[in-house]
Amino acid sequence: MSEQLVYIDGAFYPKAEAKVSVFDHGFLYGDGVFEGIRAYHGKVFRLEPHIKRLYESAKAIGLIIPMAPEEMSNVVIESCRRNGIANGYIRLVVSRGVGDLGLNPYLCPKASVICIAASIQLYPAALYQTGLDIVTVATPRNHPEALNPRIKSLNYLNNIMAKMEAIRAGVQEAIMLNLQGYVAECTGDNIFIVRNGALITPPATEGALEGITRGAVIDLAKKKGLDVREERMSRFDIYTCDEMFLTGTGAELIPVVKVDGRQIGDGGVGPVFQGLLVDFHELVKFDGAPIPGLA
């Protein structure tokens, strides 16, 4: 394959030449928003919801994106086409752009758009069969009125600090609680449990990102006739549930078999997760925006 190409503000650059200014406020202050998107079988999965969420995040922080949503979608598709990404991961970034060394975002004349189409592997393949062992960490999820977790911003220090706690505990993922002590999400994934026959996930109002994969799983579960609920969740609910799994663009669906030293269910990968995983793999075969020449 030829050298990877990265889209930056209207042009494609070889990976080694893909650079942004040190005065870009995305670099200096984490001032910007992003989306992680997947391509499967020559199609960009649920591209429209991803683009909609990107623009909503930008609006929430007062960031004007210098192109229409349709053009942004074309950037994603063209990035995949030029890099031959039929199955892979796309990182779409909009930063505040170049400014001075002060905080004032209004001194950044124009936002910058970057699109990287490549690949990702968050967890070892074996863990999708055996399940994750995870812990609850002390770092709480951001307060919604400080930096709302529904904004997919470039400032991920909250998640990174929680991830560091997880790694120091010898695991790869961690549960983050909100300031009231209820379950919000993991450092990079949404949370689902199966308890008393219902599939339950914390609502966005508890500090969870409205994940695109999360939404797809909710849709699939409802089609299967499952009792799906978005409701407040405590660690007690997790410790006593029958199954648990995580969802995310990078992780897809991955089971959890132990939390804070407590076995989940019978300690194995549960049937609800297994059925939804099969359904998800079927869904991504046809649900998506075609990539010319790769679909």
Which pLDDT does position 2 carry in this prediction? 76
Distances (CA, A) of 68 to 55, 61, 143: 9, 17, 31
Burial (Cβ within 10 Å: 0-12, 13-18, ≥19) of residue 109:
exposed
Beta carbons within 8 Å of 193's beta carbon, 6+ residues apart: 199, 200, 201, 233, 237, 238, 241, 242, 243, 244
Q: Which amino acid is at 230?
A: E
Q: Tokens 């609920």 sit at which residue?
A: 229
DSSP per-residue string spanning 196-225: TTEEEE--GGGT----HHHHHHHHHHHHTT
Which pLDDT does position 121 carry in this prediction? 82
Which pLDDT does position 122 carry in this prediction? 79
Handedness of CA 284, 286, 287, 290 (dihedral sign): positive
For 19-49, b/e burial (b = at least 16 CB within 10 A) is ebeeebbbbbbebbbbbbbbbbbbbbbbbee
Tokens read off for 224: 């299967």
Residue 234: CB atoms within 10 Å: 13
Please list the ranges in the chain whose pLDDT falls under 70: 1
Cβ atoms of 195 and 240 within 8 Å: the answer is yes
Cβ atoms of 64 and 55 within 8 Å: the answer is no
Which pLDDT does position 1 carry in this prediction? 53
> What's the angle, vertex CA 127, arms to CA 126 and CA 129, rounded to 5?
75
Where do the domains of the chain lie, and which CATH numbers do they carry? 5-118 (3.30.470.10), 127-283 (3.20.10.10)
Closest CA to 210 of 222, 202, 199, 221: 202
As annotated, the active-site residues are: 152
Maximum distance among all alpha carbons in the chain?
57
User: Whole-angstrom Cα distance, residue 269 to residue 276?
Assistant: 12
Q: Is 139 helix (H, G, I), strand (E, B) or coil?
A: coil
Q: Cα–chain-centroid distance for residue 230?
A: 18
In the chain, at which residue ranges do the beta strands (DSSP E only) sit? 5-8, 11-14, 32-40, 43-44, 88-95, 112-118, 132-136, 174-177, 183-186, 190-195, 198-201, 227-230, 243-248, 252-259, 262-263, 289-290
Q: On the CB side of 146, how many CA atoms lie within 13 Å of its CA?
A: 9
